[in-house]
Amino acid sequence: MLKAANSHARHCYERALEARERALKTDDPSARDEFLASEVRWLKLAQSYEFSEQLTQFLKKPLTFPEHPVCPRCGVPMWLVEMDPSSEKTDYFYECKACEGKLTLTAK
């Protein structure tokens, strides 16, 4: 079964499959090479459509950051100094510029 993010990618995957099938059916080595090269080009184009779709979806999501915490030692808003994203969570590292206190918050 062909999987595609959009109709353009699906079309490219279908053309790639056709090129592969034609390559397997021909006895002419030159034609086989051309069909296989065509398959590769169609697959690259399909991947570019899928990447474009993923990028569009990513850009539609608003970037959200947790509110700046207040330093528990001196009451001053802390600065975000580093982020460490992983596959399931993001760690936010804050530092107080007044008393040099440090705080780590984790968000999913």
pTM strictly above 0.85: no
Q: What is the CATH number of the domain that holds 104?
A: 2.20.25
> 48: domain range?
7-60
My answer on whether 22 and 43 are in the same domain is yes
Whether the Cβ atoms of residue 12 and residue 42 lie closer than 8 Å to each other: yes
State the chain's mean pLDDT as an integer: 86
Look at 66 and 84; give whichever has higher pLDDT: 84
User: Does residue 2 form part of some domain?
Assistant: no
Instruction: State how many domains the chain has.
Output: 2
My answer on whether 83 and 104 are in the same domain is yes
My answer on whether 55 and 68 are in the same domain is no
pLDDT of 8 strictly over 80: yes
Cβ neighbors of 43 (< 8 A, separation 6 or more) are 12, 13, 16
The predicted model gives 23-36 an average pLDDT of 96
pLDDT the model gives residue 1: 44
pLDDT the model gives residue 7: 87
pLDDT of 4 strictly over 60: no
